[in-house]
A = this chain, B = another copy of it.
Amino acid sequence: MSAVSEQSRGRARSGRRPGDSGTREAIRAAARAQFAEQGYDRTSMRSVALQAGVDPTLVSHFFGSKQKLFAEVMQLPFDPSVVLPRILEGDPAAIGTRLATFVLSLLQTPEGHARLTGLVRAAASEDAAAAVVRERVTREILAPLAAGLGSDRPELRGSLAASQVVGMVMARYVVKVEPLASLPPEHVVAVIGPTLQRYLTEPLPF
């Protein structure tokens, strides 16, 4: 079936005009809300269509698959092109502390907390969502971090740092293991900063 006839079908059922940017935006907004609130698994093309008030065929027509829709609306909780230079510049011996401070500050805001835990939860749900998160995080955070790091084996170092950041989000903010969950943010920075520093700049044991 051609795109035009798909659009006509969508129009006939939903009453919206084909290619309407308002329709696309309504679908995006509904998808963003549902992925964040219900997680990847319990969000479907149909549930997004229902909330957006459009025919489900329009969601498939515009976005293709649930995985593609997720990739479309998945937003990093910060702009890496702004944040990474700030972390990479300055004393190289304090890069671990700067990265830890940034992550903890982000998690202390309701918006940053919701987006970052949402990202980790999505990555843990289905392989399709994990692949989207892996691709975006690698391309938009880890690769530029590695490019600016100035250490040997920077990609490995970036992925090691990511493991401690993700683990902190999981243990402290998702599973809420005590006493880590109640530790003041500055103490979390003090204890994971040196780990991130070691992963990012100190000699690797192999």
Is residue A142 within 8 Å, beta carbon to beta carbon, of the partner chain? yes
Total copies of the chain: 2
> Scoring A residues 135 to 157 as 1 if CB is less than 8 Å from chain B, else 0, what string do you get?
00110001000000000010110
Least Cβ–Cβ distance between A110 and chain B, in angstroms: 17
Name the segment of A11-19, A49-57, A76-84, A168-176 touching the other chain.
Answer: A168-176
Within 8 A of B (CB), among A4-57: 39, 41-42
> Scoring A residues 159 to 190 as 1 if CB is less than 8 Å from chain B, else 0, what string do you get?
11011111110111011111111010011001
Interface of A is mostly: helix
**14 cross-chain CB contacts under 8 A:** A39-B41, A41-B41, A41-B125, A121-B125, A123-B175, A124-B125, A125-B125, A133-B175, A138-B177, A163-B168, A163-B171, A163-B180, A191-B205, A195-B195
